[in-house]
Each structure stands twice: as structure tokens, then as C-alpha cells.
């Protein structure tokens, strides 16, 4: 009797799933790399527009050069913080903000140190005075003459920097009527100043008192106008009083003005 030996059938080998996944992964990586290279070489990944806003005194070209950002640079590779720090080194710049908007737009927004006054230098040229007392050429005719003119101040006068610092903290409406500020020191008060107003009045006060006293200046001038006094000197010191300039004015309102000024403060 013959015996039959059963030989188990050999199953065909199946392709390894792990090998297939590796191939697919390599293909994906390859195509992504190609796409990335094409993208970064295309114009869509480049800076196409650089917008500079907020500047009055500093030229846009100067800010652009300091930023080291150029049209055509990679939109994704610019270092906004480094560029902002570089722009901030410009003397008239107080703060900088750089924002990016895809595709290709970069906006540089600057805030300059506050303008507090103007002066005319020895060459007869207009200069801007900033809050720290420093002066800078005002060649741009678009800068409005919306601040007082400081006349007769030497650059090494410490009262000049003190005055500029205080002017920076005074609201613009309170300075609207002031046209000129000149030093008028006395033996008792080295910070004494004389102010000329657009409404044809003069004010004598101290830098120390300026921010406090200007709150009442418009009120006192309005009271004088009501009394038909169109020129005179307001002395705003420890006590306030007024001296009309009209020769034919028979009414001495010095005491009244002082009382009114004190009443307003209370």
C-alpha cells in the first residue's frame, strides 16, 4: 500500500506594507520639496510692497534704509524685530511696529518723538524742537506751524530742555493761542519766561507754573475782552494779576484779575 505525503502549499509572498509606505513617504517628501523650491523662487514669496506710515520729520527713504528691508527680499525670511531695533536707533523715532500681510506686503509704522516747538537757527532756517530739547531741521514744508516758536534760547541753557519737557505734557488746545516763548530770567527766578499770544496779549510766568497756569489763560483773556481790553500783560506767578496796555484805560483790573484767577483755581 502506497502512502501519500501531503506537502503544504507554499503561500505566495505578499509585498511588504512597510516598504510600500516608505516609498510613498519618500515620494511625498520629494514632491513637497520640489513645490517648496518652486514656491520660494516664485514672485509670490517675495516682498512686493513696503509701506511706511506715521513719519513727519524723518524721510521715508531714511527709514527704509535703516530697516534693511528691500522689495524682492523673501517675505518669510525678514527679521522684523531686528529691523525695528535698527529703525529705533534714528534719533527722532520713539517706537516702531512692523507688520506683514501675505502676499508680499510689509508695513512699517513709526511714532516720532513729540514736536513741542520750533526755533529759527543762526542761518535763518526753521528747526523742530522735540520733547528732549533736541533740535532737527524742518526742511519738509508739509510740517505745520502748529507749535510755539521759542526765541532767544541758547542750546546750553538747561531751562530750554526743561521747558520742552513740560510742553510735551501740555494738551495742544492749551497751546493754540501761544505764538512765541522767550526767556526772561530774573534774580529771583531763573526759569521766568515771557509768552506772546496770537490774541495780542503777553504772559509773564515761570516754567515751573506753566502747565498749571495755562488752564486759566483762555478764561482770563476772555474776561479782558468782555471788558474791552484788547492788549495787556497777564502776570501768572504765585499770585495772578493783569496790567492793561491801553493808555486811555482808566480801570485798573489788576486786583480783579488776580482774584478771578484764584477763584478759577478753586
- Pairwise CA distance, residues 116 & 156, whole Å: 18
Location of C-alpha cell 509585498? 15
User: CA 174, 166, 110 angle in degrees (round to 5)?
Assistant: 90
Which residue, 98, 108, 91, 97, is CA-closest to 57?
91
Dihedral pair phi/psi, residue 46, rounded to 5°: -100, 155
pLDDT digits (tens, 9 = 90+) for 104-156: 899 999 999 889 999 998 888 889 999 988 888 876 666 778 899 999 999 88
Location of C-alpha cell 525670511? 77
Full pLDDT tens readout for the chain, 266 residues: 555 656 565 555 565 556 677 777 777 776 677 666 655 666 677 898 999 999 988 889 999 999 999 998 988 888 999 999 999 999 889 999 999 998 889 999 999 988 999 999 888 888 999 998 888 887 666 677 889 999 999 988 999 999 999 999 999 999 999 999 999 999 999 999 999 999 989 999 999 999 999 988 988 899 988 888 888 999 999 888 888 876 444 444 443 444 344 333 33
- 3 state DSSP class of 51: strand
Report residue 184 as a C-alpha cell: 526772561
Cis preceding-peptide flag for 103 (omega within 30 of 0)? yes
CB 210 within 8 A of CB 180: no
- 3 state DSSP class of 179: strand
Amino acid at each position: 500500500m502506497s502512502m501519500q505525503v501531503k506537502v503544504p502549499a507554499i503561500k505566495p509572498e505578499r509585498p511588504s506594507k512597510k516598504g510600500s509606505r516608505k516609498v510613498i513617504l519618500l515620494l511625498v517628501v520629494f514632491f513637497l520639496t520640489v513645490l517648496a523650491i518652486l514656491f520660494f523662487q516664485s514672485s509670490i514669496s517675495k516682498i512686493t510692497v513696503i509701506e511706511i506710515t506715521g513719519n513727519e520729520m524723518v524721510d521715508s527713504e531714511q527709514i527704509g534704509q535703516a530697516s534693511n528691508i528691500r522689495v524682492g527680499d523673501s517675505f518669510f525670511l525678514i527679521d522684523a524685530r531686528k529691523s525695528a531695533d535698527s529703525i529705533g536707533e534714528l534719533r527722532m523715532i520713539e517706537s516702531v511696529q512692523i507688520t506683514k500681510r501675505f502676499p508680499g506686503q510689509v508695513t512699517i509704522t513709526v511714532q516720532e518723538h513729540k514736536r513741542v516747538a520750533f526755533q529759527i537757527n543762526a542761518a535763518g532756517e526753521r528747526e523742530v524742537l522735540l520733547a528732549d530739547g533736541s533740535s532737527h531741521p524742518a526742511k519738509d514744508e508739509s510740517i505745520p506751524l502748529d507749535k510755539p516758536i521759542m526765541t532767544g534760547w541758547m542750546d546750553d541753557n538747561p531751562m530750554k530742555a526743561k521747558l520742552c519737557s513740560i510742553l510735551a505734557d501740555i494738551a495742544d488746545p492749551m497751546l493754540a493761542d501761544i505764538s512765541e516763548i522767550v526767556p526772561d530770567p530774573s534774580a529771583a527766578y531763573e526759569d521766568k519766561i515771557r509768552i506772546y499770544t496770537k490774541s495780542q496779549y503777553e504772559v509773564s510766568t515761570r516754567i515751573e507754573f506753566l502747565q498749571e497756569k495755562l488752564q486759566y489763560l483762555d478764561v482770563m483773556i476772555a474776561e479782558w475782552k468782555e471788558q474791552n481790553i484788547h492788549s495787556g500783560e497777564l502776570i501768572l506767578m504765585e499770585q495772578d494779576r493783569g496790567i492793561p496796555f491801553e493808555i486811555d484805560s482808566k480801570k485798573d483790573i489788576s486786583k480783579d484779575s488776580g482774584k478771578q484767577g484764584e477763584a478759577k483755581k478753586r
